[in-house]
Amino acid sequence: MAFKKLKTDLGFWYSISIDRAPAEMLTKLLIMHLDREVLRDILAQVSTPGGMGITTARSAVRSILVKACTAACTSAWSASKPALDLAKTVVEEKIIPGVAPIIEAQTKLKDQIVGIITSVTTPVTDKLRDTIFTPLMGIVLGPLVDAFKAAIKGFNTQTSAKLTKVNTEQGYRDMVSDVSYSYWVESPMVEAYQIIRNLDETHLSTFCSAIPGVSAWSFISKLDTMLRDLLRRAIYTTHKMCADMDPSAALAKVLGQLVHDAKLILVSIVSGGVFMMIGDFFDENLIQPCVELVKPVSDAIPEFMKTLVSVDGLLEEALNDIVKNIIDACCSGAATGSTASIDTWQG
């Protein structure tokens, strides 16, 4: 988990197999990070008489740099491991026993809160599930899959046309920039954007009319942003792979990864987007009425304990869990067959 967070913080969003020892994985990540700027600039300074054997010379220099990074990461990991082991021992022997009673008390209090608010939440959540969320899935999943397929197709079309440029720094930057456009003929998002834009005018209007105050804008914005980010990451990955393989082979490999990632985030976009859409409705119909119901519980907590136990926080957490569970259940069930159709993006 720590490695994945560090990878994301460094801007690497695509999948990396954790198939090595910790020190080797840190080395791998460090090299990936350095390859973006530092190593590229260093290798650019390597020259040979008449340019003969330049590739071999640069490979040799890079190998030396990789070995230096490997030694540094191995040394740093070895030095930090005793401290990490000590910290783990302190947490397990000292901190966990101390906070366990508080965590247990919060869990019991949250269960108590859920029991108190059931009379308010059940009618609202039943309506959301039966009359809105479940029907919505059947309405929007088809167009959403079409948007994903159009984006993948657009990526393939534009990257195939620019295979001689994607391995260059300027070509890569131009292709990433093109993703931001919605009407530019060389943008991979042209067809996908038209599908996304039509969601508000057709399919999502049914959903929005069922809940007063709900806007489709947050949903559409989330979908649009995540699709563009997905394509940018695919372009970056293709660009990096071209350093070690033929551009056509790199494109073929990235397309497989892109389809795989698209399937993973489709349900995430739907569930997250729907939750964002009902934010105001959620606050008005669930949070505000329930605050009054749990007020006696909050008043019964001694003042000095309120810095450790927040009834309002536990209430919001409980309500979030209730609504998200309903949305996730509706999304995952409906999307099981839909995600598989992304494989047919070429058709």
Judge if 60 and 144 occupy the same domain: no
Judged against a pLDDT cut of 60, whether residue 204 lies above it is answered with yes
Judge if 304 and 335 occupy the same domain: yes
Judged against a pLDDT cut of 70, whether residue 202 lies above it is answered with no
Helices first, then strands: H and E counts in the chain: 15, 0
Query: What is the rounded CA–CA span in Å between residue 33 and residue 299?
Result: 52
Judged against a pLDDT cut of 80, whether residue 210 lies above it is answered with no
Count the neighbouring beta carbons within 10 Å of the beta carbon of residue 199: 21
Judge if 198 and 67 occupy the same domain: no
Judge if 47 and 160 occupy the same domain: no
Judged against a pLDDT cut of 90, whether residue 179 lies above it is answered with yes
Q: Looking at 97, 120, 155, which one is the last position of a domain?
A: 97
Residue 67, domain extent:
2-97
Judge if 49 and 142 occupy the same domain: no
**Residue 191 near residue 157 (C-beta atoms within 8 A):** no
pLDDT single digits (tens) 24-48 = 888 888 887 777 667 777 777 777 6
Nearest to 247 by CA among 172, 312, 174, 323: 172
- The domain total for the chain is 2
pLDDT for 38 equals 73
As a whole number, mean pLDDT of residues 169-176 equals: 91
φ/ψ bin of 53: left (φ > 0), alpha (ψ from -120 to 50), beta (otherwise): left
Judge if 71 and 164 occupy the same domain: no
Query: What is the rounded CA–CA span in Å between residue 47 and residue 51?
Result: 7
Judge if 295 and 248 occupy the same domain: yes
Query: What is the rounded CA–CA span in Å between residue 44 and residue 276?
Result: 47
Q: Which of 93-97, 211-215, 312-316, 333-337 has the lowest mean pLDDT?
A: 93-97
Q: Looking at 97, 131, 150, which one is the last position of a domain?
A: 97
Judge if 274 and 230 occupy the same domain: yes
pLDDT for 108 equals 81
Judge if 277 and 247 occupy the same domain: yes
Nearest to 15 by CA among 257, 342, 269, 265: 257
Judge if 149 and 58 occupy the same domain: no
Q: Looking at 47, 73, 97, which one is the last position of a domain?
A: 97
Judge if 245 and 312 occupy the same domain: yes
pLDDT band at 60 (very low <50, low <70, confident <90, very high): confident
Judged against a pLDDT cut of 70, whether residue 215 lies above it is answered with no
Q: Calculate what percentage of the chain has a pLDDT beyond 70.
A: 73
Q: Which residue has the tokens 């073929």?
A: 252
Judged against a pLDDT cut of 70, whether residue 19 lies above it is answered with no
pLDDT single digits (tens) 276-317 = 667 667 777 777 788 888 888 777 777 766 666 677 778 888
pLDDT band at 249 (very low <50, low <70, confident <90, very high): very high
Give long-range contacts, CB 8 A cutoff, 24+ apart: 68-72.
Answer: 69/27, 69/30, 69/31, 69/34, 70/23, 70/24, 70/27, 72/30
pLDDT band at 272 (very low <50, low <70, confident <90, very high): confident
Q: Mean pLDDT in the chain?
A: 78
- Specify burial of residue 162 (Cβ count, 10 A radius: 0-12, 13-18, 19+): buried
Q: Which residue has the tokens 């003969």?
A: 52
Judge if 163 and 26 occupy the same domain: no
| Better-scored residue on pLDDT, 168 or 200 | 168
Distances (CA, A) of 242 to 99, 167, 257: 51, 5, 15
DSSP 41-91: HHHHT---GGGTTHHHHHHHHHHHHHHHHHHHHHHHHHHHHHHHHHHHHHI
Q: Strand runs (DSSP E) across the chain, as ranges?
A: none
Q: Which of 89-98, 138-147, 162-171, 176-185 has the lowest mean pLDDT?
A: 89-98
Most confident range (mean pLDDT) of 7-21, 36-50, 176-190, 206-220 is 176-190
**Residue 310 near residue 291 (C-beta atoms within 8 A):** no
79-91 per-residue burial string, b: 16 or more CB within 10 A, e: under 16: eeeeeeeeeeeee
pLDDT for 299 equals 79
pLDDT for 332 equals 67
pLDDT for 144 equals 85
φ/ψ bin of 246: left (φ > 0), alpha (ψ from -120 to 50), beta (otherwise): beta
Q: SS3 for 188?
A: coil
As a whole number, mean pLDDT of residues 196-211 equals: 71
As a whole number, mean pLDDT of residues 330-341 equals: 70
pTM above 0.75, yes or no: no
**Residue 31 near residue 69 (C-beta atoms within 8 A):** yes
Q: Which of 61-65, 206-210, 284-288, 309-313 has the lowest mean pLDDT?
A: 206-210
